[in-house]
């Protein structure tokens, strides 16, 4: 697996050379943009505003900051590198915190951490962090942006996630709700939660919509109409208590697992050209 970052991880005076590897991959279905009449692909060209629409090559493009209307200062890659301190070029743990203290809203992009030396020090850090159930908080510059970082350990493996800074988190626009909750309703809601509770098993959840898109593509290739999936019977209940009672009746017995739908069945083998 190709690495996304090469540098070092340090805590105190201990330095560990590492590489970071992306832990997620894009699994989307790609569509091309086409002209509606000719079905010819649409291309996007980079042009100069004041050059009569002349197309600009990538090598001729630089980054500029507009400090006044129409006036820019230009930055190249060496300028950004000069701004980095030795600390910015490595990942230095500044503090250890309880992992539960980090609100999930702060998590951004996850990576696997792989040591490329000092394996004993790496193994020591992994074991100590896992036994203490701590996450390391650090900062570093990735590309041209400083990133807040959380380093954690699970099942003997180290993972790193970039975090959003506090000022990047938008205030919650949700209004304060001052409804009075009845004891009977709360008891019923808790019973529903208990009846639907179970371990988190990510392998049970599939991207069903993507599978339906694939089936729609095959249908269109074969000249068929797209079949709309059945919605099932939707029961609308206006009374909250009645809705809770019906929900509990339908969920009592075991934790609810995603039902295996047509989209989750094993797809047929595709030809190599497909």
Average per-residue pLDDT for the chain = 86
The domain over range 5-26+82-168 is classified in CATH as 2.40.290.10: yes
> In this predicted model, which residue has the larger pLDDT, 123 or 54?
123
Q: Which residues pair with 21 in a beta bridge?
A: 112
**pLDDT at 121 (0 to 100):** 95
pLDDT score, position 253: 58
Selected residue with higher pLDDT from 156 and 249? 156
- Residue 93: burial class (beta carbons within 10 Å; 0-12, 13-18, 19+): buried
The predicted model scores a pTM of 0.74
Nearest to residue 147, comparing CAs of 90, 187, 79?
Answer: 90
Predicted confidence at residue 258, as pLDDT, reads 57
Residue 10's pLDDT band (cuts 50, 70, 90): very high
Q: Of the spans 54-63, 99-108, 224-233, 240-249, which averages the highest pLDDT? A: 99-108
Phi, psi (rounded to 5 degrees) for 13: -100, 10
Give 98's Cβ-side CA count (13 Å radius): 2
- Distance, in Å, from the CA atom of 72 to the CA atom of 92, rounded to the nearest integer, reads 34
Where in the chain are the domains?
5-26+82-168, 183-197+204-228+237-258
CA 214, distance to chain mean position in Å, is: 23
**What would the pLDDT profile of 79-124 be if each residue is shown by its tens digit?**
888 888 777 778 999 999 999 999 999 999 999 999 999 999 999 9
Q: What is the largest CA-CA distance in the chain?
A: 72
Encoded tokens for 216: 């729609």
List the one residue out of 169, 179, 199, 152 whose CA is nearest residue 240.
Answer: 179
pLDDT (tens digit per residue) in 235-271: 676 788 888 888 888 887 555 555 554 444 444 444 4
| DSSP string of 80-114, one letter each residue | HHHT--TTTTSEEEEEEEEGGGS-GGGEEEEEEEE
């Amino acid at each position: 697996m190709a690495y996304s970052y090469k540098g070092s991880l340090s805590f105190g005076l201990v330095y560990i050379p590492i590489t970071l590897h992306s832990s997620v991959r894009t699994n989307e279905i790609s569509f091309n943009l086409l002209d509606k009449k000719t079905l010819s692909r649409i291309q996007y060209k980079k042009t100069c505003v004041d050059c009569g629409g002349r197309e600009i090559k990538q090598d001729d493009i630089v980054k500029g900051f507009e400090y006044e209307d129409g006036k820019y200062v230009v930055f190249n890659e060496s300028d950004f590198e000069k701004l980095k301190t030795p600390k910015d070029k490595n990942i230095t743990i500044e503090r250890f915190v309880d992992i539960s203290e980090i609100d999930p809203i702060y998590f951004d992009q996850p990576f696997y951490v792989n040591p490329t030396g000092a394996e004993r020090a790496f193994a020591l850090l992994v074991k100590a962090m896992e036994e203490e159930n701590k996450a390391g908080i650090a900062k570093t510059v990735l590309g041209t942006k400083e990133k807040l970082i959380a380093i954690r350990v699970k099942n003997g493996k180290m993972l790193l996630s970039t975090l959003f800074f506090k000022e990047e988190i938008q205030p919650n626009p949700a209004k304060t709700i001052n409804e009075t909750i009845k004891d009977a309703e709360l008891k019923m809601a808790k019973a529903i939660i208990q009846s639907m509770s179970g371990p988190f098993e990510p392998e049970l959840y599939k991207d069903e919509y993507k599978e339906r898109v694939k089936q729609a593509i095959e249908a269109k290739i074969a000249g068929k109409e797209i079949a709309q999936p059945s919605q099932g019977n939707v029961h609308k209940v206006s009374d909250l208590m009645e809705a809770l009672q019906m929900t509990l009746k339908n969920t009592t017995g075991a934790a609810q697992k995603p039902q295996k739908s047509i989209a989750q069945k094993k797809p047929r083998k595709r030809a190599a050209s497909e």
